[in-house]
Structure 1
Amino acid sequence: MPTAFPTSAAEPAGNQCALCEREVQRTSRHHLVPREEGGRHGPTADLCQPCHSTIHLLLDNKALARRYASIEQLRTAQELQKYLHWIRRSRVERISNRRGRR
């Protein structure tokens, strides 16, 4: 089965968001099961900043751990459908941190 990302050293490693599948300048590592819910050493996914920020805005850590512990599950999350429809057609690289101060 072919991989979604280039693996050859000759090919430049593209930064593709695992959730929205857009080519972006930077990605960040998202723990599919949040560290606070036991996912410190678990699988991760590279996400663009808008997707990473929006996931944490719309879904709490318990929901991420229990219902959305894979990219496929996140892609089907009802809470993210409107956002995903918008971001896939957008050239936005960064959005302000909307999590708020704790």
Structure 2
Amino acid sequence: MARAQPQCGLCERTVQATSRHHLVPREEGGRYGPTVDLCQPCHSSVHRFLTNRELARQYPTVEALRAAEGLQTYLSWIRKQRVECITNRRGRH
């Protein structure tokens, strides 16, 4: 039986692999809180464009994260891509 490929919880693309993203970052008290599986480009970009404090206070759900103003240009772009991996370094906040 073939194993289904994972789907990113943010861009909703079918990808090769995902990683677990804590909707409220562990550093902000979300260690045992809800998580969502994200592809590497989305996971990296979420942490590049939003601080942990912003994630905890303004974007604690997938729906809120999808609606984040700071991610709209990125989401429009990534949804059209086949890219599985991107390199971007976490910005200094």
For this structure pair, what is the TM-score category when the shorter chain's length is used for normalisation? over 0.9
Give the unaligned 5+ runs of structure 2.
Answer: none
Normalised to the residue count of structure 1, the TM-score between the two structures is: 0.85
Deviations 1:30-81 (A, max 9, x none): 0000000000000000000000000000000000000000110011000000
Task: Give the structure 1 partner of residue 72 of structure 2.
Answer: 81
Q: CA RMSD in A?
A: 1.5
| Runs of at least 5 residues in structure 1 that lack an aligned partner in the other structure | 1-9
Secondary structure of the equivalent of 1:46? strand
Other-structure match for 2:3:
12
Point out the structure with max Rg over C-alpha.
1
Tell me whether 1:43 sits opposite 2:34 in the alignment.
yes
Name the structure 2 match of 1:99: 90
Superposition pairs of residues 52-91 of structure 1, within 5 angstroms: 52-91=43-82
Q: How many residues align?
A: 92
After TM superposition, the runs of 4+ consecutive aligned structure 1 residues lying more than 2 A away are 10-14
Identity, in percent, stands at 66
Q: Matched residue of 1:33: which SS? A: coil
TM-score (norm. length: structure 2): 0.93
